[in-house]
Amino acid sequence: MDITMERSVFRKDLLNGKTAIVTGASRGIGAAIAHRLCEAGANVVICSRSADTITQVAGTLQGKGHTVHAMVADISEKTDVEALIEKTISQFSQIDILVNNAGITRDMLLMRLKDEDWDAVLQTNLTGTMYCTRAVLRPMIRQKSGRIINISSVIGLMGNAGQASYAAAKAGIIGLTKATAKEVGTRGITVNAVAPGFITTDMTAQISEQSQKQLLELIPLRGFGHPEDVADAVCFLASDAARYITGQILQVDGGMVM
């Protein structure tokens, strides 16, 4: 996994002393987010269902001198989430930043979509995000501060044929973001979402060349984004620079959805 792209616009001490959790951090956007938060000075706990890949990402970041701990956790399982939160607090005594990035796809036309595939996508992408968010609220409320950043998608805003389950889950994350922001705003906690457009990851690499050309026509900036573009947005929302921003959806999509 290449997470070596060096172009951070943030101060190295921007998040010094902060502790962050990033779910689904074994590759792509999640790994880039972990990298950016580390660069900004945070202690970062990363998790994934894959022991090999999450350990590899942690090793790469530790090799750069960052404080990173890897955990194997399936966020669709409440007990895994509880263990993740407990271990983080045990290790660092606090949780300042939660980035809900983990997600899966089971793309299929709705009329052919199996119940179990619908359930899997909603359970991981939406319910898993809820599990993680709910689990960090008590410690964040106790410390009277916190940043929760949920990774949604432009698909949750515009829909897409063959992605009914994914669109429903990502749209649900937007609703969850806004409702939670209203619940905890008086406690010093902000809750925002980032909605990436088409980003160069393993997923988009599977799109045919013809389809990629058609997609580019829909993007005013005429290019796909990079995982670091999303990571920069997350780092901003995690910082004090975004202290007066909550309940918002920040689109990182090259102008695709306006």
Q: What is the pLDDT of residues 130-149, one digit of tens each?
A: 999 999 999 999 999 999 99
What does the pLDDT read at residue 9? 61
Rounded to an integer, the average pLDDT of 23-49 is 97
Q: What is the DSSP letter of 163?
A: B
pLDDT band at 1 (very low <50, low <70, confident <90, very high): very low
pLDDT band at 7 (very low <50, low <70, confident <90, very high): low
CATH superfamily of 19-252: NAD(P)-binding Rossmann-like Domain (3.40.50.720)
- Cβ 198 vs Cβ 215: under 8 Å: yes
* Residue extents of the structural domains in the chain: 19-252
What's the rounded Cα separation, in Å, for the pair 16 and 37? 10
- Cβ 42 vs Cβ 18: under 8 Å: yes
The catalytic position among 131, 166, 198, 224 is: 166
Any idea which residue has 């990035």 for tokens?
101
What's the rounded Cα separation, in Å, for the pair 213 and 231? 25
Q: CB under 8 Å to 158, separation ≥6 — which residues?
A: 257
pLDDT tens for 172-225 read 999 999 999 999 999 999 999 999 999 998 767 777 888 888 989 999 999 999
Q: CB under 8 Å to 6, separation ≥6 — which residues?
A: none
The reply to whether 166 belongs to the active site is yes
